[in-house]
């Protein structure tokens, strides 16, 4: 075992890949970029990823929650930040003081933001979200002009942006996205006519950014593509993009067991002959799902997980002639030799999507950042 080994399981994040992917998105769109670093940058580590994205040409960061914005500010990041989700009223003064931009969709929120801004002696920076068909957050398009006017006449706030979010941009059929975009663009035309159009009109997520130029407006909001993950089966990244994250653990014990031994909780697997079994230091509390169909990579080969995944550990079947010993690295996500387990593959095995795989890697898994361009 390597004496300097510090972690039982960890993820490595290539910041060179993040920069490469942001630069590709910038070249493609020539627009302002919101690097979406919510949920700890989809599990990749918010602060280092945010810095890499800004270095590569993103002008904005976007998060889901006030606490996520505060983490970035506490790390000394001074770029503009937009909270895409709901900001609890009690967080408004703090966010406004930190020059964090807030998403709003109602009169009550505009009033609350204005009052909080007045109290702290600053102007609230507001982005009005319009529900054009996602059915999640957003003002009805018919109410949007009235809301924009309210901000325009208010002394303590300014309308910095207006945006919408697409529900189906990652599907083969473009029509649902075109329909949402039509509603949005017609609203933008009305805002322009009334001289209410803000500086930043934005709509596209990663999938729309890769496919539909008419959705780019002034800025695009990219999450999954920045991480080098495919938006979906139907909407894949070009070859120039690189995945940034890999996930590794370690073999902690190896044993040879006779035929018929039950393994792990419930003994749902029994050895089928003399088998070499390795114990590995990762479990469902790390975000490694409790499924029976899991594979891992050891010594460049796929090995099956045997028996149930436990909270902190798994058991894997090793090649009977292999010389694997305790200390051997185990790749859970990423490449080893010629084999590769992608976040997309794990998503399929786990009945979910790549987004949930990386954002589900638990906080106790160490994040190690490196620069793949300067290696
Ligand atoms: C998460 C999110 C995004 C980023 O979506 P990707 O598919 O990862 O590019 C963009 N906009 C909003 C409002 C979001 O919530």
Asked, for residue 235, whether it belongs to a domain, the answer is no
- Element (DSSP H or E) covering residue 92: helix 92-97
Q: Where do we find the tokens 């070249």?
A: 27
Share of the chain above pLDDT 90, in %: 96
330 CB within 6 A, ligand 1: no
Give the model's pLDDT for residue 375: 46
Q: What would the pLDDT profile of 123-146 be if each residue is shown by its tens digit?
A: 999 999 999 999 999 999 999 999
pLDDT at 374 over 80: no
pLDDT at 296 over 70: yes
Q: Tell me the residue range of the domain where 313 lies.
A: 245-341
Dmax over CA atoms of the chain, in Å, equals 80
Give the model's pLDDT for residue 5: 87
Number of domains in the chain: 2
Q: Are residues 298 and 219 in the same domain?
A: no
46 C-alpha to ligand 1 centroid (Å):
15
Q: Are residues 107 and 209 in the same domain?
A: yes
Q: Are residues 256 and 202 in the same domain?
A: no
Q: Are residues 209 and 291 in the same domain?
A: no
To the query of whether residue 301 is one of the catalytic residues in this protein, the response is: no
Rounded CA-CA distance 167/276 in Å is 48
pLDDT at 211 over 50: yes
Q: Are residues 203 and 114 in the same domain?
A: yes
Tell me how far CA of residue 95 lies from CA of 58, 84, 89, 122, 362, in angstroms. 21, 13, 10, 11, 27
Asked, for residue 268, whether it belongs to a domain, the answer is yes
228 C-alpha to ligand 1 centroid (Å):
14
Q: Are residues 51 and 88 in the same domain?
A: yes
Q: Is residue 250 very low, low, confident or very high in pLDDT (cuts 50, 70, 90)?
A: very high
232 CB within 6 A, ligand 1: no
Helix then strand count (H, E) for the chain reads 11, 19
220 C-alpha to ligand 1 centroid (Å):
10
**Cβ(230)–Cβ(357) below 8 Å:** no
Tell me how far CA of residue 110 lies from CA of 42, 75, 123, 158, in angstroms. 29, 29, 12, 10
The pTM of the full predicted model, rounded to 2 decimals, is: 0.97
CA-proximal residue: ligand 1, atom 6 (nearest): 223
Q: Which ligand 1 atom sits closest to the C-alpha of 223?
A: 8
Asked, for residue 8, whether it belongs to a domain, the answer is no
**DSSP class of 162:** E
Asked, for residue 108, whether it belongs to a domain, the answer is yes
138 CB within 6 A, ligand 1: no
CATH of the domain at 163: 3.20.20.10
């Amino acid at each position: 075992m390597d004496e300097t080994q510090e972690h039982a399981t960890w993820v490595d994040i290539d910041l060179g890949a993040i920069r490469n992917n942001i630069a590709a998105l910038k070249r493609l769109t020539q627009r302002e970029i919101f690097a979406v670093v919510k949920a700890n940058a989809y599990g990749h580590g918010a602060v280092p990823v945010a810095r890499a994205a800004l270095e590569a040409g993103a002008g904005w960061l976007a998060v889901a929650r006030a606490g996520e914005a505060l983490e970035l500010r506490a790390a000394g990041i001074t770029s503009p930040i937009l909270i895409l989700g709901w900001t609890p009223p009690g967080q408004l003064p703090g966010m406004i003081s930190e020059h964090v931009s807030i998403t709003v969709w109602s009169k009550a929120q505009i009033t609350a933001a204005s009052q909080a801004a007045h109290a702290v002696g600053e102007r609230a920076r507001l982005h009005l979200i319009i529900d054009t068909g996602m059915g999640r957050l957003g003002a009805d398009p018919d109410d949007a002009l009235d809301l924009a006017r309210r901000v325009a006449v208010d002394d303590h706030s300014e309308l910095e942006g207006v945006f919408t979010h697409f529900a189906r941009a990652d599907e083969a059929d473009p029509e649902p996205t075109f329909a949402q975009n039509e509603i949005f663009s017609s609203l933008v035309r009305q805002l322009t006519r009334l001289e209410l159009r803000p500086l930043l009109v934005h709509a596209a997520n990663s999938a729309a950014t890769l496919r539909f130029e008419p959705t780019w407006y002034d800025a695009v909001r990219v999450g999954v593509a920045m991480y080098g993950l495919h938006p979906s089966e139907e909407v894949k990244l070009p070859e120039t993009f690189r995945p940034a994250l890999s996930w590794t653990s370690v073999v902690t014990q190896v044993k040879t067991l006779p035929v018929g031994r039950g393994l792990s909780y419930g003994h749902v697997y029994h050895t089928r002959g003399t088998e070499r079994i390795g114990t590995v230091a990762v479990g469902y509390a790390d975000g490694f799902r409790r499924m029976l169909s899991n594979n891992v990579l050891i010594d460049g080969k796929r090995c099956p997980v045997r028996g149930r995944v436990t909270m902190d550990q798994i058991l894997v079947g090793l090649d009977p002639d292999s010389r694997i010993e305790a200390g051997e690295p185990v790749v859970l996500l990423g490449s080893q030799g010629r084999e590769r387990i992608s976040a997309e593959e794990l998503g399929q095995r786990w009945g979910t999507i790549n987004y949930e795989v990386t954002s589900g890697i638990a906080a106790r898994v160490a994040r190690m950042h490196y620069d793949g361009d300067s290696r």
